[in-house]
Structure 1
Amino acid sequence: MFKTEAVVVGAGAIGLAIARALSLRGREVLVLERADSVGQETSSRNSEVIHAGLYYPPGSLKARLCVEGRRALYQYCAERGVPHRRCGKLVVATSLDEEAALQYLYERAAANGVEDIALIGTGRLKEMEPELQATGALLSGTTGIIDGHALMLSLQGDAENAGATVQCRAPLLGGSLGSPSIWLRVGGVEAAEIETKLLINAGGLKAWDVSRGLDGLDFETIPPRYLAKGSYFAKSGRAPFERLIYPVPVAGGLGVHLTFDLGGQARFGPDVEWVKTIDYEVDPARAGAVYDAVRHYWPGLPDGVLAPAYAGIRPRVTGPGEPPGDFVIQGPKQTGHSGYVALYGVDSPGLTASLAIGDYVADLAS
């Protein structure tokens, strides 16, 4: 029987940030990851955008942790040399009806404490991005892009330097919530049994399965799970834009937007496809709807330039026809066990908020 003070399940950006925060506070931490390396699912299958905090209801965890996390993330990237760029973003309206949505977003962002935002008209918009077709836009100056993999390696390094152990190819098979200890069964090449005082479930898409594998947990505490698949398409050649371009939000997501990586590769997505199983294949037939969506704000997008890139799946606690739910971060009061913390539905802006989530969970665990 191996004993440790704390176990974190999941080595994505969130799990690594939590392990880092706990380790820096002097806790003995073991991270269990079922994949071959860190960050192989949700954390590496997104737009790699540093979000400002425009969209989320004031007072929600998403609003608070996004704004706090974004500020902390820019400082962290500068100190650690994590590649990133504060490129800015335009949320564009393509009709007079959509301009009301821009005003709503502006007011919501201001309520969330987002800095460097402005509503701009067609004249300035044409000067900034001549290829855009829009009746107005919301400019977010603090939005940026990041190398998500480099961020996760840095978080892993911080945690390990503070004494944590990150163990890959170590799936959690189940466990039991005892008092005061928690017993876990771990598979992989070196199967083991672990006794710990603290268990943090940061399993992402598998967080629900982790909780359902724990004897002694009241399953009524587990929220519903919905899977929102998003496919991305890459454009051959560079796109003629200096900033990220987003439409006004749509049901289930932020709309098909134009982002680019640090090398300038443009990509479009994600769309929204509600699925029952985890499948990362990109259906080339979905490109037609992507062309249609993008040409609302970039009518000059040529035919035949988009190719399937990758897909991600957003873990959600709300489903079709409902607004995206808040992060669900359950401390001991909500899980009913003094040593169990569970995170569900941590989709966008999870990468942006990762450092703030790490500190938030470390506070709950204390």
Structure 2
Amino acid sequence: MQDFDFDAVVVGAGAVGLACGYALSQRGLAVAVLEAEGHIGQGVSSRNSEVIHGGLYYPTGSLKARLCVEGRRLLYAFLDKHHLDYKKCGKLVVATQESELEQLATIYDQALANDVEGMERLTGAQARALEPGLNAHAALLSPESGVFASHDYMLALQGEVEAAGGAVVINTPFEGATPLAGGGFTVRIGGPEAATLTCRLLVTAPGLSAQAVAANIEGFPKDQIPEAHFGKGVYFRLAAKAPFQRLIYPPPIHGALGTHYRNDLGGQAVFGPDLEYVPAPDYSVDPAKAAVFAAYIRKFWPDVPADLLTADYAGVRPKLHGPNDPQPDFQLRGADTHGLVGLMALFGIESPGLTSSLAIGEEVALRLAV
């Protein structure tokens, strides 16, 4: 019987990779999580809205619908257990004009189908009573939505993996893997201490480099590697008192949830992200975009002081669709699609991937039959 260095190797130490490592280590497996960067969570996980999503929007029966709701429940319990800071502030999805009422009704019905707790339909007056200054023709209230400190969460996941005897190894890029004849994989790693190691199970969750990692696994069918698209989103911060306590979302746009508002854990108002498809990851923020942001925000907050919007940061989402394509589900590709027993390859883990991360980890462990 093959003697492996690790039971499982996970590629990528962002929120999802660490959650996969956590789920596997909780089942008694010896786990190594490999991270190319010098710190955990430096990719997609470091440049997001830090929103805990309720699970309102996603199609019935989709992984996004199920794993977002399951992941949210697991996430709040995990944050409580580890005494990590969060605000379950709730979220208003706002129709700013009558033409958006039908979209709001569709979202409400989908939220109920997805088993989202506590949903309420509000009149414009009721929404404004909760958040004075809001322009609302009507709104939906999702009380389970919130914000949290994602890096603290990832540090706690790392701690759990290590407490279970696993390793989270930084500055260790994945360079390739080869299936072994009797099952399992040889994994080639680079960095200051380039080496090879063996494992029974291999999970790839490297976010923006998911396609490149899959292409470096010997025997992975090229037609099972989906085309990568990069969805850039920028954020602007308000240099003034936060106007609202709850998350404020307009109805979603094609391919994203739209530029929204959050009051972060530090009490500051942040708006974003927008969506722009780019040919390669790009984290620049053009301060001149403030005028465009102000025009969009003015729909739900007419009094936004445009001169107090300051450029903050940008993130890039690992999308599997182009600007005019339908938005696909999370892709968790196992041996039934690529033929490599013991390998689970994750693609397109964008929003609500952070909220879903613990449930994604559980799903990966379940599909790998551990």
Relative to the length of structure 1, the TM-score reads 0.98
Aligned pair partner of 1:336 in 322, 339, 363: 339
Q: Equivalents in 2 of 1:293, 1:119: separation in Å? A: 23
1:270 aligns to what?
A: 273
1:296 aligns to what?
A: 299
Q: Equivalents in 2 of 1:284, 1:323: separation in Å? A: 31
1:164 aligns to what?
A: 166
Tell me if the contact between 2:244 and 2:263 (Cα under 8 Å) persists in the aligned partners: no
Aligned pair partner of 2:83 in 81, 84, 93: 81
Q: Tell me, which stretches of 5 or more residues in structure 2 are unaligned? A: none
Task: Supply the AA of the counterpart residue of 1:10.
Answer: G
Matched, 1:357 2:343: no
1:112 aligns to what?
A: 114
Q: Equivalents in 1 of 2:263, 2:195: separation in Å? A: 43
Task: Supply the AA of the counterpart residue of 1:212.
Answer: A
Deviation at 1:175, TM superposition (A): 2.2
Task: Supply the AA of the counterpart residue of 2:86.
Answer: H
Task: Supply the AA of the counterpart residue of 1:57.
Answer: P
Any residues of structure 2 matched to 1:53-72 within 5 Å, and which? 53-72=55-74
1:279 aligns to what?
A: 282
2:157 aligns to what?
A: 155
Tell me if the contact between 1:14 and 1:357 (Cα under 8 Å) persists in the aligned partners: yes
Matched, 1:200 2:218: no
In the TM superposition, what whole-angstrom CA distance separates every residue of 1:302-352 from its partner, at most 9, and x where no partner exists?
131111111111111111112322100112212211121100000011111
Tell me if the contact between 1:2 and 1:193 (Cα under 8 Å) persists in the aligned partners: no
Relative to the length of structure 2, the TM-score reads 0.97
Tell me if the contact between 1:171 and 1:186 (Cα under 8 Å) persists in the aligned partners: yes
Task: Supply the AA of the counterpart residue of 1:286.
Answer: K
Deviation at 1:25, TM superposition (A): 0.4
Tell me if the contact between 1:335 and 1:341 (Cα under 8 Å) persists in the aligned partners: no
The 1:298/1:219 distance shift into structure 2, 3 A limit, reads same
Q: Equivalents in 2 of 1:357, 1:224: separation in Å? A: 21
| SS at 1:307 equivalent | strand
Deviation at 1:98, TM superposition (A): 0.3
Tell me if the contact between 1:33 and 1:171 (Cα under 8 Å) persists in the aligned partners: yes
Deviates more, 1:55-64 or 1:76-85: 76-85
Matched, 1:230 2:233: yes
Deviation at 1:43, TM superposition (A): 0.7
Aligned pair partner of 1:15 in 10, 17, 23: 17
Task: Supply the AA of the counterpart residue of 1:295.
Answer: R
Q: Equivalents in 2 of 1:321, 1:190: separation in Å? A: 44
Q: Tell me, which stretches of 5 or more residues in structure 1 are unaligned? A: none
Q: Equivalents in 1 of 2:352, 2:306: separation in Å? A: 32
| SS at 1:214 equivalent | coil
In the TM superposition, what whole-angstrom CA distance separates every residue of 1:232-277 from its partner, at most 9, and x where no partner exists?
0111022221111000111221111001211111110000000110
Aligned residues: 366
Matched, 1:312 2:315: yes
Tell me if the contact between 1:331 and 1:342 (Cα under 8 Å) persists in the aligned partners: yes
Matched, 1:215 2:205: no
Runs of 4+ in 1 over 4 A off after TM superposition: none
Tell me if the contact between 1:178 and 1:216 (Cα under 8 Å) persists in the aligned partners: no
In the TM superposition, what whole-angstrom CA distance separates every residue of 1:63-118 from its partner, at most 9, and x where no partner exists?
00000010111111111111111000101011111011100000000000000111
Q: Equivalents in 2 of 1:263, 1:284: separation in Å? A: 22
Q: Equivalents in 2 of 1:19, 1:292: separation in Å? A: 43
Give the percent of matched residue pairs that are identical in Structure 1 and Structure 2. 48
Deviation at 1:166, TM superposition (A): 0.5
Q: Equivalents in 2 of 1:29, 1:40: separation in Å? A: 20
Aligned pair partner of 1:46 in 25, 45, 48: 48
Tell me if the contact between 1:234 and 1:265 (Cα under 8 Å) persists in the aligned partners: yes
| SS at 1:215 equivalent | coil
Q: Equivalents in 2 of 1:288, 1:74: separation in Å? A: 36
| SS at 1:206 equivalent | helix
Deviates more, 1:316-325 or 1:17-26: 316-325
